[in-house]
Every structure is written in structure tokens, then in C-alpha cells.
Amino acid sequence: MHSESAAPAAPSWVQAGTPAYRRISLALFLAGFATFSLLYCVQPVLPELAAHFSLGAAGSSLALSVTTGCLAVAIFVAGALSEGRDQRRLMFASMALAALCNVLAAVAPTWGGLLAARAFEGLLLGGVPAVAMAYLSNHIHPRGLGFSMGLYIGGTAFGGMAGRIGMSMLADHFGWRAALATMGVLGLASAVGFVGLLPRTGGSGTPAARSRTLSYHLDAWRTHLQTPGLPLLFASGFALMGVFVSLFNYAGFRLALPPYGLSQTQIGLIFSVYLFGMVASPTAGALADRLGRAPVLVGGVVLMSAGVLLTLVAPLAGVIAGIAVLTFGFFVAHAVASGWVGRLALQSRGHASSLYLLAYYLGSSLLGSAGGWFWEHGRWPALVAFSLALLAGALWLALRLRGKG
């Protein structure tokens, strides 16, 4: 019989406003930055990869989809196995080795070699997101959890923006290979900063936790799948991330064509809308702590739908505005959903986080590539219809979550 000892006692929680709270928040911000700058840096150069390796839009999207697919599988394992282990060391090793894989992808001579490096990168990065969410849930007092989780998600937004914009500008001036290698070096520097900032906290695990068996993990996953509300949050993450990645994957293809004809740098600068995500995430987390999670989640899905519809207009300013609204709504919804998982999973939060992020990154991988089929067969209107169908499902899930805590 296995005892549930993963949740820390109240005295071990870090209180908001303390120096330890600030160091943890900044360190996890860096972790989010490194993970997402490495993960999504290939997104703005998908058209260049398609041209260089003679691929279609859906084929070139594998440079991202293979990474997020492997990440989903790795997260599923890492979130559970992190319990009872040195989470600080695990996250640092994952970030550093993934950054080195990004450099290997930059020098790979063939498309297969590049995909292999990106696949290993996804497997390694799995040691960060689920562990980060579990770390915050286990160490930050519940009263400050919404804001700290939102700040971590804000770091992912900043990383996604910096990775895309930096990659676009570097690729325009030095080529996509030099740009990819540079992003790897920046990821390694972020890993060093992370391990220097994150305090060494006690209570990360016990010998009993380290010796947990496969049956314990299977029981924990089954319990979370049977916990009211959690499966709805897992499905929400799948749909929301699928829409977000699909639109961003193929926006570059659309904007490079007439009547826009934007350069790589100009397309990359559009990703500065991620600034809205940096604002939306901690704000949404704090609002959810005060007003309730369901209304804020519904609002995020509605904003995403409005943004997707707005991208149908012809003027460039309208397209950019639509992408900005979509981004704001996505980070509102994701910040609430991810924080909600931590609250509903009172024990074994690493297992709950691993299930949420498994669904989340499978949405990125599977639906992101599926969006390429709609783009190739019906261009932007078909992709918008695909996205709105997914968002209708996400709205239904959010409405069903009312009253779940």
C-alpha cells in the first residue's frame, strides 16, 4: 500500500513577498523562457525550411511537431518521476542538454538529421514544464500560487516571443542555421541563470518517494483521470494549444505571399504580440484567485474565438490585431487551466501536471500538423474553420467546469 507524501506540509510553503518567493519566481521565469524559445524558434522559419529541403507546409511543420510530440511523451514520464527527486537539478540538466541539441540541429546536413536532433530536444525539454508546475504547486503557498503560476507562464510567453523574433531577425541576416545555433547558446545561458537563482529547498522527496513502483504511478494517473474536472481541463489544453500553434504555424506562410509579401524579419516582429501573453498570464491567475476560474477561462476562450475571426479581414492591421487578441485570450485560458489543475490535484501534483501537459503538447503536435492539411487544401479560411470548431469544443468544456472549484 502506497502512502501519498508528495504534498508538502503547510510550514514548508514559500509565502508570497519573501526573498525566496522572488527568487523562485524569477528562476521559473527563466525556465519558461529557455524552454519555449528553444521549442518554438523554428516556427518563423518554416517557410525557409520548406524551400531549403523541398518540402510542403505540412512537411516543414514537422520541425516543430516532432519536438512537441516527443515533449508530450517525455512530460508524461518526467512529471511523475520528478516526485521525490532533486527537481532543481533535473530541470537544469534538461534545459542545458536541450540547448545543445538545438545547436546540433543547426549543423545537421540532412532533413532527417535535423528532425532527429529536434526530437531529442523535445525528449529532454520534457524535464522542465511538468516539473516546473509541480515545483510551484508543492512549494508556493496556495494564496500566492495563481500569481506565481501566471508569472511562469509569462516567462513561456516571453520565451516564445524572443525565440520567434530573434530567430527571424538572425535568419534574415545570417541564415537559419546560424540563427538556430544562437538560440541554443542563449538557452544554455538561461539554464545557468536558472540554477544560480533557484534556492535549494528541503522536502523535495523521501526515500519512500524515490522507491515508488509502477503500480503507484498508474494508480495516481487513474485517480486524476477520475477526479471531477481534471479530464475536462486536460481536453481543454489539447484544443486550445492546437488552435494557437496552428494559427502561428501557417501565419508566416500567409503573410509571405501576396498581397502582403512580408520579409522574414517583418513576419517575426508580429510575434511581439506575445507581450500580451506576458501581461495576460499573471493577470488572469490573480483574477482567477479572486473571481473564480470558470468565468476567466470562458473569457479566454471567447477572446481566442474573436481573434481567430478577426484574422479573416484583408488589411494587414486587422490580421495583426486578430493575432494579438488570439494571443491574449490563449494565455488567459492557459494560465487559468494550468493553475486549476494544481488546485484540483490535492496530491501527486506531478502526475496531474504530466497528464495536462501530455494533452497540451499533443494538441500542439497533432493539431498543429493537421492545420497544415487545411492550409494546403483551403488556405486561411479553411484553417479558421478548423480552429473555430476546436474552440467551440473548448467553450463547451469550460462551461462544464463551472462549480468544479
Identity of residue 375: W
SS3 string, 151-181, reads HHHHHHHHHHHHHHHHHHHHHHHHCHHHHHH
d(CA 90, CA 327): 30
Q: Going residue by residue through the chain, which has 405 residues, state the pLDDT in tens, using 9 for 90 and above.
A: 444 444 444 447 777 667 878 888 888 888 888 888 999 899 888 888 998 999 888 899 899 999 989 988 887 777 566 655 677 888 899 999 999 999 999 999 999 999 999 999 999 988 787 678 777 777 777 776 777 777 777 777 788 788 888 888 899 889 999 999 999 999 999 999 998 888 775 544 444 444 467 787 788 778 877 778 889 999 999 999 999 999 998 998 899 889 999 888 888 888 788 787 777 877 787 787 777 788 899 999 999 999 999 999 989 999 999 999 999 999 899 888 887 887 777 667 777 877 888 898 899 889 988 998 999 999 999 999 999 999 999 999 999 888 665
d(CA 114, CA 46): 13
Domains of the chain as residue ranges with CATH? 17-197+213-400 (1.20.1250.20)
pTM of the model: 0.77
CA geometry: angle 148, 134, 328, nearest 5 deg: 45
d(CA 154, CA 174): 29
DSSP letters, 317-356, are HHHHHHHHHHHHHHHHHHHHHHHHHHHH--S-HHHHHHHH
d(CA 371, CA 387): 8
**For the CA atoms of 198, 71, 145, 401, what is the dihedral angle to 10 degrees?**
180
d(CA 193, CA 302): 37
C-alpha cell at 23: 527568487
Average pLDDT, the chain: 84
Summarised one tens digit per residue, pLDDT across range 25-38 is: 888 888 888 888 99
- Cell numbers 462551461: residue: 399
